[in-house]
Structure 1
Amino acid sequence: MRYFRIVVLVLAFGSTGATAQDMTEESVDSAASAGASDVIENGSEAGLQAWIAGFRGRALAAGISAVTFESAMAGVHFLPNVIERDRKQDEFTKTIWDYLDKAVSEDRIVAGQKALKAHGPLLDQIEARYGVDKHVVLAIWGLESAYGLVRGDIDTPSALATLAYDTRRGAFFEAELIAALQILQSGVVKPSAMLGSWAGAMGHTQFMPSSYLKLAVKFDGSGKADVWSDDPADALASTAAYLANAGWKKGGRWGDEVRLPTGFDYGLAGDRTQKPLSIWAELGVTLPDATRLPASGWASLLLPAGARGPAFLVYDNFAAIEAYNKADAYVIAVGHLADRIAGGAAFKASWPRDLRALTLGERKEMQSLLLTAGVYSGTADGKVGPLTVAAVKAFQRARGMVLDGYPSLEILQALR
């Protein structure tokens, strides 16, 4: 059995953003926050250069040569736009349907089908080697860089140094900067060519430097993986290798949209533990066309928009994609885009488009009120994850409401 992390609200992800292998929602970012001081509100070029002078000793102690350090860090500058974009992650949220409208748009589907034709033999070889569905690899490529068209043009050392100097997640980004310097020291890419997103993710499928060091592969087996060049082979193979390492099961699906019977107990959704498909079938869960579920297998029930939106049974491969990005919306987008590229249909159920996402302030207020009610054990940080969902369910149970755990405006108003 596998365990799944439930995230309802999603960050406004976009191409070349803090997506690949990034930490989101109520994840424990101890490495990023340990010992962090107050956030730098008025960073400067002089402040960054002073930070770099202090960082030099730590980098050399980590095995970075003085030559590599001087070459890589000579062109590093403070990037205020990077700080601004990092700050806005928690402030600008989308509902999952707004996110999917863009992530799995008709244009992206068509572009994916064209990319499948153009790179079919390569994707077939990668699937054969790693056992990962080529459509899923293709979907990640589409979401992360629009199939290689938008790989990011920000100097990676500058972005990472700026974020490490900022201190909000200083330890995390300093570790990523050291990983980037290790990559440069290997000689696989020159400092001038190490470009990516504002958060330091690089290449066609937006690998963070530490993930590159751990899991990137050279498709033809010679030398080190090059995820920066126009040739996507190494990046796509590395993505497949990443998913395989995360436990991808060959021939399996990420999940399926399902239909729930009238009177279904929504409290069964969001359970971290999977149940046998035979149990879900006994409870009246079917595929959207009312046909029975497969006879064998295990799945967890996911309601990303609460009781009024589509329902999904998600399998082990959902968790494998989740290792790439922990947001449920991202995983659903990857799986659904993969299905649509392969000729699958759109979701049958409608999203509750009359609802809106809560603002950051409203999410913090909800968590504060849940704390006061004695049903929440987290902090009022506005990040909606499993602790918040469980607290909402506890409040709904006490009020005799539908137990879907969805942190809606209705819940906030009831708490008030």
Structure 2
Amino acid sequence: MYQTPSCFSVTALLTIFALVAGGATLSASAQTPPANSSPAAVAPDDAKRDQRFARWIADFSTTARAAGINEATLQSAFEGVRFIPRVTELDGAQAEFTRTVWDYLDSAVSAQRVVRGQDRLLQARPAVDAAAARYGVPAEILAAIWGMESNYGSNTGDIPTIDALATLGFEGRREAWARGQLLAALKILQNRDIPREQMLGSWAGAMGQTQFLPSNFLAYAVDADGDGRRDIWGSIPDVMASTANFLARSGWQAGQPWGQEVRLPPGFDLALADGEQRRPAGAWANLGVRSMDGTPLPALSDSALLLPAGARGPAFLIGPNFRTILRYNNSTSYALAVGLLAQALAGGAAVQTSWPRDLQALSRGQLLALQTALNTRGFDSGTPDGMVGPATRSAIRRYQQSVGLPADGYPTLELLQRLQ
């Protein structure tokens, strides 16, 4: 995943800017391009980009000094920092937002992942159970997040976190966010929780076996094994306690389920199943909503109905803990996958209602066209961006109601064609 740029190290350029900014001079070895590097062979555009990147790093270093980052940390962090083109390519292409929910769940909650998860949960049981007891988060939920984020620790990412965040900050689309995360990463290095060469993770700067962003690491990471370091890369006790601490402090309610699959009665007003309208579970029961096996609905005082695949797919009753999982990753598909994977790890039932697999996912361009058409007809979906969020789903529902269609808020090719 990590691509070495075709140019020589940005460090040589950085040295010049660091001197201008009043920072410490980098080591002589860092100022010398690798022997096999040939600046004359570097593409002009790449060379100019690397010069701009070095200036960005120098400017950021000034900000970091003012925030209390010392010169030794800056030297360690930025001595070999590189721009990674692949990071900018991956930005905005998360699978949670670009695939149908059933396609996403097919891999996220596959039989192989369930079997592997049950085995890994057995191996890590003491650490998982200790975290579950301390923070009130079920062991299976912790294991499900572990499975979703790194396939139970087998794929934590190999991109240097400093390089990834510097690339995102320099690229500019999310510069303010990336600068904040990069500063947090420098604080982690300064605290000596992890050395620079071992601070590896995803293209977006998420780190460790449950993929904490640096700011979340500073706020929620826990030294559960007592070795003086918060090690979410190699210490299972630290991984589990940190993850449980994040969920507990984000609103997890002990003793409550995340939700469950339910049946809706014939003629049910689908506009109520938008995932936002909250009622006690008893109120949904009074409207005819039933569990799949006929048992009483869970005693959720603040629950909502969710139709992740529209009227033809499964329906779920979701509670506050589902919304807490969204704090970990703000994707309905992700939160649903965590809940269903946890359910499977505990030996529970899979989704019983069939998914509408004949429906194809709309492309980014088609979603842009759909949003534009909705806006043109007076159903405000916000600024068209090709991403389906609450505003787009609300606009779809209003349009569906206006033409007598089931108001499930789900974007389909048929709906797009009708709008056009």
User: Is the 1:43–1:166 Cα contact (8 Å) retained in structure 2?
Assistant: no
Deviation digits for residues 310-343 of structure 1, max 9, x if unmatched?
Answer: 0000011111111101100000000000010010
Instruction: List per-residue Cα deviations over 1:27-79 (Å, max 9, x = no partner).
Output: xxxxxxxxxxxxx9998333322211221111111211122111111011011
Confirm whether residue 284 of structure 1 aligns to residue 274 of structure 2.
no
Within the candidate set 159, 162, 184, 1:154 is matched to 159
Q: How do 1:66-145 residues align onto structure 2 when only pairs under 5 Å count?
A: 66-86=71-91, 88-89=93-94, 93-145=98-150
TM-aligned CA distance change 1:92 to 1:335, over 3 Å: closer
Give the number of aligned pairs: 376
Larger CA Rg, structure 1 vs 2? 2
SS of 1:71 mapped into structure 2: helix
- Per the TM alignment, residue 273 of structure 1 is displaced from its structure 2 partner at its CA by 3.2
Amino acid at match of 1:395: Y
- 1:266 is aligned to 270
1:340 pairs with 2:344: yes
Alignment of 1:153-302 (within 5 A): 153-221=158-226, 223-229=228-234, 231-294=235-298, 297-302=301-306
Counterpart amino acid of 1:185?
A: Q
More helix by share: 2
The amino acid across from 1:94 in the alignment is R
The question of whether the paired residues in 1 share the 8 Å contact of 2:95 and 2:104 is answered with no
Note closer, same or farther for the CA distance 1:138–1:89 as it changes in structure 2 (3 Å cut): closer
TM superposition shift of 1:295: 5.7
| Structure 2 gaps, min length 5 | 1-44
Shift of residue 216 of structure 1? Answer: 0.8
The CA deviation at 1:298 is 3.3
User: Counterpart in 1 of 2:382?
Assistant: 378
Shift of residue 136 of structure 1? Answer: 0.3
Unaligned runs of 5+ in 1: 1-39
Partners in 2 of 1:295 and 1:232 — Cα distance? Answer: 33
Preserved CA contact (<8 Å) 1:306 1:404: yes
Q: Which SS does the other structure have where 2:347 is aligned?
A: coil
**8 A Cα contact 2:270 2:408, kept in partner:** yes
Q: 1:209 to 1:403 in 2, by over 3 A?
A: same
SS of the residue 2:304 aligns to: strand
Match of 2:317, SS? strand
- CA separation of 1:65/1:282 partners in 2, compared to 1, >3 Å: closer, same or farther? same
The one-letter code of the counterpart of 1:367 is: Q
Deviation for aligned residue 1:221: 4.5
When residues 313 and 400 of structure 1 are mapped into structure 2, their CA distance, relative to the original with a 3 A threshold, is: same
**Residue type matched to 2:396 in 1?**
V
Whole-Å separation in 1 of the counterparts to 2:48 and 2:313: 43
> Which moved further from structure 2: 387-396 or 53-62?
53-62
CA offsets per residue over residues 192-250 of structure 1, 9 Å max, x none? 11111111100000000000001111113552311122x22211110000000011111
Contact 1:90 1:360 (8 Å CA) reproduced: no
Offset of residue 272 of structure 1: 1.6
- Where 2:339 maps in the other structure, the secondary structure is helix
2:316 is paired with a residue whose SS is strand
- Cα distance in 1 for partners of 2:118, 2:418 equals 46
Q: Distance in 1 between matches of 2:157 and 2:371?
A: 35
- Answer 1 or 2: higher relative contact order, Cα 8 Å, separation at least 6: 1
Report the alpha carbon displacement of residue 179 of structure 1 after superposing the two structures with TM: 0.5
TM-score normalised by L of structure 1: 0.87
**CA–CA distance in 2 between the matches of 1:102 and 1:42?**
41
CA contact (8 A) 2:368 2:386 kept: yes
Structure 1 residue identity aligned to 2:163 = S
Taking the aligned partners of 1:284 and 1:104, their CA distance within structure 2 comes to 29
Instruction: Give the drift of 1:292.
Output: 3.5
2:68 corresponds to which residue?
Answer: 63
Q: 1:41 to 1:99 in 2, by over 3 A?
A: farther
Q: Name 1:51's counterpart in structure 2.
A: 56
Match of 1:275, SS state, is: coil
Q: Which amino acid aligns with 1:290?
A: G
Which residue identity does 1:118 align to in structure 2?
Q
Cα distance in 1 for residues equivalent to 2:278 and 2:355:
24
Deviations 1:115-160 (A, max 9, x none): 1110112111111100001100000000000100001111110111
Alignment of 1:313-392 (within 5 A): 313-392=317-396
Conserved? CA contact 2:300–2:319, under 8 Å: no
Query: Once the 2 structures are TM-superposed, how far is the Cα of residue 90 of structure 1 from its aligned partner?
Result: 8.8
Say if 2:137 and 2:252, in contact at 8 Å, map to a contact too.
yes
Alignment partner of 2:303: what SS? strand
